[in-house]
Structure 1
Amino acid sequence: MVQQYGDTATMTEPDNDATTTARYEEARAAAHRAMSNVTIIPDQPLTPTGAMEPVEDPELLAYRGFKFGAAFFGWLIAIAMSVVLSIAVAAAALGTAEILDYTRADAEAQPGATAITAAAVSVVVATLAFYSGGYVAGRLARFDGGRQGFGVWMFAFLFAVLAAGTGALLNNQYDLLADVNRPDVSLTTDTLTTGGIVATAALLLLTLLFAIVGGKAGRRYHDKIDRLLEQQF
């Protein structure tokens, strides 16, 4: 310890009492624990404040990024959930119509309300299904849940485009739509076109959003485990 009086400095010996020694040893042990968790890389660039950038574990980097398998199985789950939810909604609708004595004639008398209700229910079912698929993909991949959810949506989009292209090609060759018995809906072509565009846009945006949110929710499961492990060690 250095003490300065006026123009002279004197060196004094540190206190030797038990309290000071214990505090010194405790501070030294804390500093040693803090330094043992720091990895020093000579070529690591410094931030403007002088602190080193956090270093990502090279072994963990191999597990990050988009995972094809996780997104694919998440897409399968989304398809399965859409089928299950559609069956449940159809059963509930039939039961409600039976109780309220709601017939097909009643639906045809109000085509606009019927079409809006059907489109809204379809969008909700697809949104929940894609949230489930994104959640499963995020759980499987462990890292980057948002990317896995986006991958689930991309799988669905690509398969939908492929199916639509195949259907258009087959219809061009064999005129399959001519054999379909389509109901006579008392709505104008402009109304049907506008409603179809709005429903398609809502379907694409909501399924994409909820697939990404579901993927991030699936990753949070692993984040909780990591935090518990860090607290233990």
Structure 2
Amino acid sequence: MSTVPEAERTQPFPTFKDARTHLTSQQARRLGGIRWGSAFFGWVTAMGMVGLLSALVTAGAAALGLVSPTPDPVAAAPAMGVAGAAVLLVIIFVGFYSGGYVAGRMARFAGARQGVAVWLWTLFLAVIGAVIATVTGVVSGPQLDELVRLPMSGGLMSGGVLSAGAAALAVGVLVVTLVGAVLGGLGGMRYHRKVDRDLVVPG
């Protein structure tokens, strides 16, 4: 004997497409916020990619005689002037795009937010590193007062071509890291949207 009530037999059974669409929308509402764990691993990826690409570019430039070999790959960029700054920005963009992509793939939803979270991790850890360098003096890096103050004489705010170029590079780095991470997060999320479409309408 069937235990299914007669009234339930007449109700339409939801199609796989309807169920999948409903499931995805429910997941997006429940899981669509920032995933700080995914963003942290995206930041790790971004830092690793920037370091790797910087080392490769520096080694190639040194082999061609464009710059002298240096243990600090980023330090070679100023020696190349505008070209070095442009190369540095490209390296940073690729690195943070990779980091945003990893965060977007891991979190699945809200790729742009995951990219912003990668960028926020960068700022947060930079401040933490500056605090540690200030308190202990052991970790090499900018001191906290150097990170937050705007000097009225000397440094980036003193005027001149060099300081203006350094300030422009600093602003460019902030913008490029944010844009790269957000675009990477959207790219990582797009992969999951393709998977959803293939499950709804098999090819």
TM range (shorter): 0.5 to 0.7
Picking from 179, 182, 188, the partner of 1:209 is 179
SS state at 1:81 partner: helix
Residue 38 of structure 2 is aligned to residue 92 of structure 1: no
Q: Which runs of 4+ in 1 moved over 6 A?
A: 32-39
Q: Using the TM superposition, name which of 154-163 and 127-136 deviates more.
A: 154-163
* Aligned equivalents of 1:103, 1:205: Cα separation in 2: 27
Structure 2 CA distance for aligned equivalents of residues 138 and 89 of structure 1: 27
Residue 66 of structure 1: SS of its match in structure 2? coil
2:48: which partner in 1? 80
Deviations 1:156-194 (A, max 9, x none): 1111223234445567xxxx99xxxxxxxxxx9622211
Distance in 2, Cα, partners of 1:196 & 1:220 = 36
Residue 80 of structure 2 aligns to a residue in which SS? Answer: helix
Structure 1 equivalent of residue 164 of structure 2: 194
**Cα distance change on mapping 1:192 and 1:144 into 2, 3 Å:** same
Q: How many residues align?
A: 163
In structure 2, the CA distance between the partners of 1:67 and 1:123, relative to structure 1 (3 Å rule), is same
Relative to the length of structure 1, the TM-score reads 0.60
Aligned pair in 2 of structure 1 residues 150, 197: CA closer, same or farther (>3 Å)? Answer: same
Which of the residues 106, 127, 146 maps onto 2:93? 127
Q: Kindly provide the amino acid, as one letter, of the partner of residue 93 in structure 1.
A: A
**Residue 164 to residue 123, structure 1, CA distance change in 2 (3 Å):** farther
Q: Please identify the structure whose Cα radius of gyration is greater.
A: 1
Deviation track 1:77-118 (CA, whole Å, cap 9, x = no partner) reads 001101110111011101111xxxx576xxxxxxx8733233
- For 1:35 and 1:224, how far apart are their aligned partners in 2? 19
Q: Establish whether residue 159 from structure 1 lines up as the match of residue 98 from structure 2.
A: no
In structure 2, the residue matched to 1:49 is none
Unaligned regions of 5+ residues in structure 1, if any? 1-31, 40-53, 105-111, 178-187
Alpha-carbon displacement from aligned partner over 1:9-57 (angstroms, at most 9, x marks no partner):
xxxxxxxxxxxxxxxxxxxxxxx68999889xxxxxxxxxxxxxx9985
The residue type equivalent to 1:74 in the other structure is: G
Q: Give the TM-score taking structure 2 as reference length.
A: 0.68
Tell me which amino acid in the other structure corresponds to 2:55.
I
Q: Determine the C-alpha separation between the residues in 2 that align with 1:83 and 1:36.
A: 46
Structure 1 counterpart of 2:176, one-letter code: L
Q: Deviations over 1:179-226 (max 9, x none)?
A: xxxxxxxxx962221111100111111110111000000011110010
Letter aligned with residue 37 of structure 2: G
Aligned equivalents of 1:135, 1:58: Cα separation in 2 = 23
The one-letter code of the counterpart of 1:116 is V
Question: SS state of the match for residue 62, structure 1?
Answer: helix
Unaligned runs of 5+ in 2: 1-11, 69-77, 144-157
Change (3 A) 1:57 1:93: closer
Alignment pair present for 1:63 and 2:48: no
Identity of aligned residues (%): 35
- State how far apart, in whole Å, the 1-side matches of 2:181 and 2:42 are: 9
Equivalent position to 1:141, from 107, 127, 132: 107
Check conservation: 2:67, 2:79, Cα contact below 8 A.
Answer: no
Superposition RMSD in Å: 3.3
Change in CA separation of 1:167 and 1:36 when aligned onto 2, cut-off 3 Å: closer
